[in-house]
Amino acid sequence: MSSLYERLGVEKSATTDEIRRAYKDLAKQKHPDRGGNPEEFKQIQEAHEILTDEQRRRMYDLTGSTNEQGGPASGMAAGGIPFEFMSGMGPFGMPGVAFDIGSMFGGMFGSRGPSGPGRRPKHPKGPNKHHDVGLTLSDFYNGRDIKLKFNQARKCDGCKGTGAATGGTESCGSCGGRGVRTHTHMIGPGMMAQQTGPCDVCNGEGQRVLRPCKSCHGKKYVEREKILDIQIRPGMRDGQTLVFAGECSDSAEYEQPGDVILTLKRADAPTSELDQWEWRGNDLWIRKQITFAESVIGFKRTLEGHPSGKTLVVGWRKGALVHGATLQAPGWGMPQQGGGTGTCFVQIWVQTPQPREWSVEERDQLRELLGGEVQTMDAEDVVPLQPSSLDTRN
Ligand SMILES: [Zn+2]
Ligand SMILES: [Zn+2]
């Protein structure tokens, strides 16, 4: 396609007047009313229109485009950046697109966004602190009062947590007292991003301390010794938690301090199977060893270390006991929450007699007492039994 200048038959350096004159002459010759080609006449008209418009002529000279907006029809500029992004002016007069990263991600200020000038928004509640409280079975049985001592920071009463003496502040010059500042970053060619965040000079407070508070020396918080009274009551359980609401330290990040949560833990847990008190629900369990003869004729035992502190003597005389049999002493278990006491279970551990050779007289006596047939082990039709690994007795 011929250039706009060629269409009108003028030089590229032609003045606007020269272009107008050339157009007038051509129009007379090429007008369709006078038998000219309508398409050719349209092209002459277009050339005249563009070249007599100072701005469009300059754009045409630069880009060769006859497009109204001055860019190639595809909308792509030479650098490959989508043309739309280049339109408009970014911050500081630079072409670009302004993003507010804070609003894009929405999370920089928590869910609420900046909450007014001068205040760095806080999370509502601080994290809880967990501690285990080690207790003996006897503590759980009888109850116990414990004092837990720790250092607790509280907002200074003298300055209400500002850290400044009365009238001892001035507006932060860096953020104009707003507590927030907007930073601009280049995030790509011609693309600017705006990020709004807490002012780093005043830490988002909007105020600068000139004269610090005398009570807290400008620290905003005062540490003091805090004593928690922990009352272990009979009926409380191993693993139970006690919540002391808001007893963590105050801090700048949270509107409310977290809770101190104590978990009651039995510290004297059983280490071996025999003679150890096991706590199950409301009940106490203990395994007691008796001799084989006692399993037959009955026994009496003192159960040491009952958590009540009382001496518990138990006895049985109502028939033979097999290994693993369970007897009970109601009322000797653990205290229950709503009153009452669980059961003490005694599991019998029968001690197997040492192997020995019984004399004929002893065998006869035992058989007479306990029953049994006359044994003639020498007979040839007897299959002698062997020890089995399935024997769980010990
Ligand atoms: Zn500031
Ligand atoms: Zn203070």
234: CB partners within 8 A, 6+ apart = 140, 141, 142, 143, 335
pLDDT at 120: 53
Query: Beta strand 341-351 with 283-291: parallel, antiparallel or unpaired?
Result: parallel
The ligand that comes nearest to the alpha carbon of residue 119 is 1
What per-residue confidence (pLDDT) applies to 260?
95
Point out the ligand nearest to the CA of residue 163: 2
Tell me the CA–centroid distance for residue 167 and ligand 2, in Å. Answer: 13
Q: State the pLDDT at residue 346.
A: 97
Q: How far is the CA of 208 from the centre of ligand 2 (A)?
A: 14
User: How far does the centroid of ligand 1 lie from the alpha carbon of residue 202, in Å?
Assistant: 4
Distance 112 CA to ligand 1 centre (A): 20
- Cα–ligand 2 centroid distance for 256 (angstroms): 18
Distance 121 CA to ligand 2 centre (A): 21
Three-class HEC string of 262-276: EEEEECCCCCCCECC
Q: How far apart are CA 296 and CA 353, in angstroms?
A: 12
pTM above 0.85, yes or no: no
Cβ pair 244, 259 in contact under 8 A: yes
Ligand 1 centre to CA of 196 (Å) is 13
The 3 state secondary structure assigned to 154-181 is EECCCCCCCCECCCCEEECCCCCCCCEE
Q: Residue 136 to residues 141, 164, 238, 255, 340: CA-CA distances in angstroms?
A: 9, 49, 10, 38, 20
Residue whose token pair is 């104590």: 262
In this structure, which residues have their CB less than 5 angstroms from ion ligand 1?
172, 174-175, 199, 201-202
Distance 155 CA to ligand 2 centre (A): 8
As beta bridge partners, residue 284 has 279, 344
Q: How far is the CA of 160 from the centre of ligand 2 (A)?
A: 7
**Could you tell me the distance, in angstroms and rounded to a whole number, from the CA of residue 216 to the centre of ligand 2?**
4
Ligand having the closest approach to the CA of 179: 1
Q: What is the pLDDT of residue 11?
A: 85
Single-letter code of the amino acid located at 126: G
pLDDT tens sequence for the chain (394 residues): 678 999 998 888 888 888 999 998 888 888 888 888 888 888 899 999 999 888 788 777 767 777 654 443 333 333 333 333 333 333 333 333 333 333 333 333 333 334 444 455 578 999 999 999 999 999 999 999 999 999 999 999 998 888 889 888 888 888 888 888 887 777 778 788 888 888 888 888 888 888 999 999 989 999 999 999 999 999 999 999 999 999 999 988 899 999 999 999 999 877 767 899 999 999 999 999 999 999 999 999 999 999 999 999 999 999 999 999 999 999 999 999 888 999 999 999 999 888 888 898 988 898 888 887 766 666 677 787 888 887 655 4
For residue 120, the cross-strand partners are: none
Which ligand lies nearest the alpha carbon of 213? Answer: 2
DSSP H stretches of helix in the chain: 4-8, 16-30, 38-51, 54-63, 83-86, 101-105, 137-142, 292-297, 360-370
- Count of other CB atoms within 10 angstroms of residue 56: 18
Closest ligand to C-alpha of residue 211 is 2
Instruction: Look up residue 49 and give its two tokens.
Output: 């229109």
From the CA of 204, the nearest ligand is: 1
